[in-house]
């Protein structure tokens, strides 16, 4: 087990499965104590926690809806109280509703904004209050902030473009305190919600230069790097990991 994050505490939102679960496990493997949030998937969240513990790590699961700013603040507070500090937050929770604009319900619009934008702000704001020099705020955005090549993704792309703007602004706000703020912008990633052999996978693979989906471990590894001391001079960056999707 490597220890690049030994002594650090991280909170990963929406980490009961997929990219979030992979990130939580990787940060723990690097030596961090990890808290994860979930909404309804308690059993899955518990599996992530047990996986980390069985490998010698420390982890806790907290129920929190990223669409509720009070719940996110509470999760941050609980992390700092339970694990005694907070050095890293990974704003991973997000949703995607893909529909042509003339079919898009305002309720779906509001929910996406609440989770994908307001939830990121609430998490960053609450976490920054606990962070000292060397703190890391990392958000999982999307390459769709820069390129949306198919019908129905306009609102999703808007929310991820907002995350990119927020990342750059927060980097300025928190830079004087030695806290870095960055966004990772994945392209297609093989998860249960977006499988590499799914209905639209052929079309999506054709849009990438490498002709494949990413593995969750690749996004997790990128996240671990940004959380490390080696990435201390990277801030305000929106870093794409998309197999050439936006090339």
Whether 214 contacts 197, CB under 8 Å: no
Measure the CA–CA gap between 47 and 235, rounded to whole angstroms.
Answer: 33
Pairing state between β 136-140 and 88-91:
parallel
Q: Supply the residues annotated as catalytic.
A: 156
The percent of residues in the chain predicted with pLDDT above 90, rounded, is 96
The percent of residues in the chain predicted with pLDDT above 70, rounded, is 99
Strand partners, 54: none
Q: For residue 101, with 0-12 CB atoms within 10 Å meaning exposed, 13-18 middle and 19 or more buried, which class applies?
A: exposed
Residue 126: what pLDDT?
98
Instruction: Answer whether CATH 3.30.1540.10 is correct for domain 9-241.
Output: no
Helix extents (H) in the chain: 18-29, 42-54, 69-83, 106-113, 119-128, 154-174, 201-206, 216-227
Among 73, 84, 80, CA closest to 122 = 73
Among 72, 34, 75, CA closest to 53 = 34
Residue listed under structure tokens 């998860």 = 191
pLDDT tens-digit series, residues 166-186? 999 999 999 999 999 999 999
Measure the CA–CA gap between 119 and 230, rounded to whole angstroms.
Answer: 28
More confident residue, 44 or 200: 44
Measure the CA–CA gap between 235 and 247, rounded to whole angstroms.
Answer: 22
pLDDT tens-digit series, residues 43-56? 999 999 999 999 99
Residue 199: what pLDDT?
85
* pLDDT band with cut points at 50, 70 and 90 for residue 3: confident
Where do the domains of the chain lie?
Answer: 9-241
**Is 0.95 surpassed by the pTM of this model?**
yes
Residue 68 has phi, psi (to 5 degrees) of: -115, 105
Q: Average model confidence (pLDDT) for the chain?
A: 97
Task: Decide if pLDDT at 70 tops 80.
Answer: yes
């Amino acid at each position: 087990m490597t220890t690049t994050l030994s002594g650090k505490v991280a909170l990963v939102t929406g980490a009961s499965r997929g990219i979030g679960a992979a990130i939580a496990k990787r940060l723990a493997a690097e030596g961090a104590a990890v808290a994860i949030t979930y909404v309804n998937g308690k059993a899955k969240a518990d599996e992530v926690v047990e996986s980390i513990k069985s490998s010698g790590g420390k982890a806790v699961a907290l129920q929190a809806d990223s669409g509720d700013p009070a719940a996110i603040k509470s999760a941050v507070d609980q992390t700092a109280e339970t694990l005694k500090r907070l050095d890293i937050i990974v704003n991973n929770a997000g949703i995607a509703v893909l529909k042509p604009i003339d079919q898009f319900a305002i309720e779906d619009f509001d929910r996406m904004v609440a989770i994908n934008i307001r939830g990121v702000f609430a998490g960053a704001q609450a976490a920054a209050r606990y962070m000292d020099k060397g703190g890391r705020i990392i958000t999982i955005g999307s390459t769709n902030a820069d390129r949306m090549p198919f019908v129905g993704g306009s609102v999703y792309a808007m929310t991820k473009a907002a995350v990119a703007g927020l990342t750059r602004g927060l980097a300025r706000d928190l830079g004087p305190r030695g806290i870095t703020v960055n966004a990772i912008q994945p392209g297609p990633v093989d998860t249960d919600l977006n499988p590499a052999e799914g209905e639209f996978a052929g079309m999506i693979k054709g849009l990438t230069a490498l002709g494949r989906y990413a593995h969750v471990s690749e996004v997790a590894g990128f996240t671990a790097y940004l959380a490390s001391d080696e990435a201390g001079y990277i801030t305000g960056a929106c870093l794409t990991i998309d197999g050439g999707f936006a090339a």
